[in-house]
Amino acid sequence: MTPAMSCEALTKRYDPTAPAAVENLSFTMPRGATWGLLGGNGAGKTTTIAMLLGLLIPTSGRVSVLGHDMATDRFAALARVNFSSPYIALPHRLTVRENLTVYGHLYGVPQAKRRIADLVERFQMGDFIDRAAGQLSAGQKTRVALAKSLINTPDLLLLDEPTASLDPDTGDWVRSLLEDYRAETGAAILLASHNMNEVERLCGHVLMLKQGRVVDSGSPAGLLEKYGRDDLEQVFLDIARNRRAAA
């Protein structure tokens, strides 16, 4: 089966005299998998996601998404992909309903009104569906961003901090929703997060980035065993602070 996504020696340099933001990144992510992309601030996560989406042109290397080369056949892939980040604002003056309607048209979603109604119910947005996006709380904005990311029922979903600004109960509810979505559709999910408990729960495989390079990878359980730790946050700190894996 064609993988959900693959990278070959993906590199991005913003300044030829400075270290690369991402260097020689290679991986193949299977369909139906949920992977974590972890790293501290400046590790290259955002640059990587932007190249995977075709928003940034790599300095070198190749990206393939759902069997389509992002350099030559990007638009064939993008109709089946979506993205969410609480740090990218939707148009503030449009209501939630208007924003979702615009994205429904952009993705050519059939029966968009019915799809939006389903998302409103699933994300419990009925109380603010006709409120301007700029008037929402941080948690409400996160829910709207996630609903937008599912508008086209994507086969590949890229998420940047999907539960940021959510209280623990709502965050747990969103994680369950993502698990259900993957089970229902067989979609692949790439998740960038600083919430290590979230990564342990959702992800079957983790890529650890540091200074633009993958410095370790494996299942959460495998990494815990390798570093002799009880939780993924301790593994994250070991890698960030250059501590060696357990013997």
Q: Could you tell me the two tokens for 202? A: 């959702």
Partnered with residue 35 across adjacent β-strands are: 190, 205
Mean pLDDT of 155-174: 90
pLDDT in tens, 216-242: 999 999 999 999 999 999 999 998 888
Domain ranges (residues) in the chain: 5-80+154-240
Three-state SS at 134: helix
Residue 247 has pLDDT above 80, yes or no: no
The DSSP secondary-structure symbol of 95 reads B
Q: Cβ-count burial of 28 within 10 angstroms (0-12 exposed, 13-18 middle, 19+ buried)?
A: exposed
pLDDT in tens, 36-90: 999 988 899 989 999 999 889 999 999 999 999 998 998 899 999 999 987 788 9
| The residue type at 142 | T
What are the helix (H) ranges across the chain? 45-52, 74-78, 96-106, 112-122, 138-149, 168-185, 196-202, 220-227, 232-240
Q: What is the pLDDT of residue 240?
A: 87
pLDDT in tens, 128-149: 999 999 999 988 998 999 999 9
Residue 244 binned pLDDT confidence (cut-offs 50, 70, 90): confident
| The residue type at 233 | E
What is the pLDDT of the chain when averaged over all its residues? 93
CATH number of 5-80+154-240: 3.40.50.300
Q: What is the pLDDT of residue 113?
A: 96
Residue 198 binned pLDDT confidence (cut-offs 50, 70, 90): very high
Looking at the chain, the whole-number percentage of residues with pLDDT higher than 70 is 99
Q: What is the pLDDT of residue 133?
A: 95
